[in-house]
Chains A and B, each alone.
Chain A
């Protein structure tokens, strides 16, 4: 089982705001990063650090953290945002990367 826990599935109406969460003890010490993966494609980094977006990622994607929970928020979800989203941080020892189980986002 993963040391980072995500809800398996979340849905959002087109144009509305959705929050995808990731829980784990290591998140009290380390920031999470977030990845978007569409079917048949490699993961793409969307958020890293405190709340940083790589070049080319729309500003509707944002990240936040509180206690043992990291969140990815999509403000004004678009049809093209439908994908699997994974959080990533360190394991409890801090030595190894670990991924959450992933959240399948459906845009209605």
Chain B
């Protein structure tokens, strides 16, 4: 079965750190760009970070740049998010998501076709 499964969430104090993991199965993980997307309680979806298939290209949302680090281990079919200097506003469900892209008549499109069930990160004293 094609799936993603996040782990590593929990309760952490402001200023603390946490490492999230995402285990992929059922597909060729090393062929896909992967992302972290989060959702604060009662709020909408927010893209956090992406990493290309080989790990060469990495991008972050401004809200986490300098504090979060995305990485992957293609041998272990795993995606990671190291979160440092956590703030209350980082409280959210964190999803890992697979990224696909294409183009029609020169017009591009991107989409997240596979999502995990998410892991909850709560930053509170």
- Minimum CB–CB distance from A92 to chain B (whole Å) comes to 13
Are the C-beta atoms of B47 and A42 separated by less than 8 Å? Answer: no
Are the C-beta atoms of B109 and A49 separated by less than 8 Å? Answer: yes
Size of A's binding interface in residues, CB under 8 A: 29
Q: Does A35 contact B (CB under 8 A)?
A: yes
Are the C-beta atoms of A88 and B107 separated by less than 8 Å? Answer: no
Contact size range, B: 20 to 34
Give the residue name and chain of the A residue nearest to B45 (CB).
A99
Chain B hits for A89, CB < 8 A? 109-110
Are the C-beta atoms of A97 and B109 separated by less than 8 Å? Answer: no
Contact of B113 among A42, A45, A96 (CB under 8 A): A45
Q: Known A98-B47, A99-B46; judge A43-B95 contact (CB<8 A).
A: yes
A-B contact count (CB 8 A): 75
Are the C-beta atoms of A86 and B44 separated by less than 8 Å? Answer: yes
Q: How far is the CA of A95 from the CA of B65 in the complex (A)?
A: 15
Chain B hits for A37, CB < 8 A? 45
Q: How far is the CA of A88 from the CA of B113 in the complex (A)?
A: 12
Query: Of residues 13 to 28 in A, which have CB atoms within 8 Å of B's CB atoms?
Result: none
Contact of A97 among B110, B113, B116 (CB under 8 A): B110
Chain B hits for A50, CB < 8 A? 104, 107, 109
Chain B hits for A29, CB < 8 A? 107-108
Q: How far is the CA of A32 from the CA of B112 in the complex (A)?
A: 11
Are the C-beta atoms of A48 and B45 separated by less than 8 Å? Answer: no
